[in-house]
Amino acid sequence: MRLKIEIKPNDRVFVLTGAGVSAESGIPTFRGVGGLWRGYRIEQVASPEAWAADRRLVWDFYSMRRQVAAQAKPNPAHMALAELERRIGDRFTLVTQNVDNLHEQAGSQRVIHMHGELFKSRCDRCSREPFPDTNLYEQPVELPRCDCGGYVRPHICWFGEMPFDMDQIYAELATASVFVCIGSSGVVYPAAGFVKAVPTSTRTYYIGPEAPENVGLFDEVLEGKAGEVVPLALR
């Protein structure tokens, strides 16, 4: 198996990360063992319908996730991606499906969080900008309200909602000559389709311990854990 991905002086590198890149930092993946929370599937607590039906349940879930993510530290995969950005600058694009801040903690400067950010909230009614928020809203804490009277919700892209920054993401995909996906099961769209949105000449790689659902769309799979393979592959 090849371990190093060649990056030529004119290459533009697009990296997409999924839950697998944070697994070795102690943040459980969605579809791995233990993917359920209190017996709920993620879709049952991460959707506008869940928010409309039971805001307390939704905030319990995201408070738990805030608590887990607040303990986590970046691993060598996050570090290697930050280093690659320092090395090749704006020829590098990092898009993550993750809502944790481990890429930023590792030193990445320009991270596109297509599924939102765990440590931000926004109003579910008015157009107030998303704002930093590390609070836990569990009993007996009151659920937060906006000045406008709306409810404050996690700044997360839920099932059925449009991911963020899609125009910018597709523009970057159109000019990428190297595409690397790390630790994503390839079942959630549109991210699972990004590998098809690059030019046909683009070299495409998947890094992770098992084949993703969309494995047939990649030129090459570099099998193994992100924390072990990424620092070697992208050095």
Closest contact distance (angstroms) between CB of 142 and ligand OAD is 25
Cα 186 to chain centroid distance, Å, stands at 12
Q: Is 102 in the site for ligand OAD (CB under 6 A)?
A: no
Let me know: does 227 contact 77? Beta carbons within 8 Å.
Answer: yes
Site track 34-63 with ligand OAD (rule: CB under 6 A), x = hit: --------x---x-----------------
Which of the stretches 13-21, 65-73, 105-113, 215-223 binds ligand OAD when contact is defined by CB under 6 A? 13-21
Residue 130, class by beta-carbon neighbours within 10 Å (0-12 exposed, 13-18 middle, 19+ buried)?
middle
Q: Which is nearer to ligand OAD, 29 or 105 (CB)?
A: 29
Map tokens 């030129």 to a residue.
219
Which of the stretches 2-10, 25-33, 85-93, 146-154 binds ligand OAD when contact is defined by CB under 6 A? 25-33
- Which are the contacts of 83, defined by CB distance < 8 A and separation ≥ 6? 107
In the range 127-186, which residues lie near ligand OAD by CB under 6 A? 157, 183-185
Q: Is 190 in the site for ligand OAD (CB under 6 A)?
A: no
Q: What CA–CA distance (Å, rounded) separates 97 from 52?
A: 24
Site track 62-101 with ligand OAD (rule: CB under 6 A), x = hit: -----------------------------------x----
Catalytic site includes residue 78 = no
Let me know: does 219 contact 203? Beta carbons within 8 Å.
Answer: yes
Q: What CA–CA distance (Å, rounded) separates 156 from 151?
A: 14
> CB 199: neighbour CB atoms within 10 A?
11
* Residue 84 φ/ψ, nearest 5 degrees: -65, -40
Q: Is 123 in the site for ligand OAD (CB under 6 A)?
A: no
Q: Which is nearer to ligand OAD, 91 or 230 (CB)?
A: 230
The three-class DSSP label of residue 67 is helix
Number of residues that bind ligand OAD (CB under 6 A): 24
Q: What CA–CA distance (Å, rounded) separates 182 from 152?
A: 32
Which of the stretches 28-36, 55-63, 142-150, 171-179 binds ligand OAD when contact is defined by CB under 6 A? 28-36
Active site residues: 115
Residues that bind ligand OAD (CB under 6 A): 18-20, 23-24, 29-32, 42, 46, 97, 115, 157, 183-185, 188, 208-210, 212, 225-226
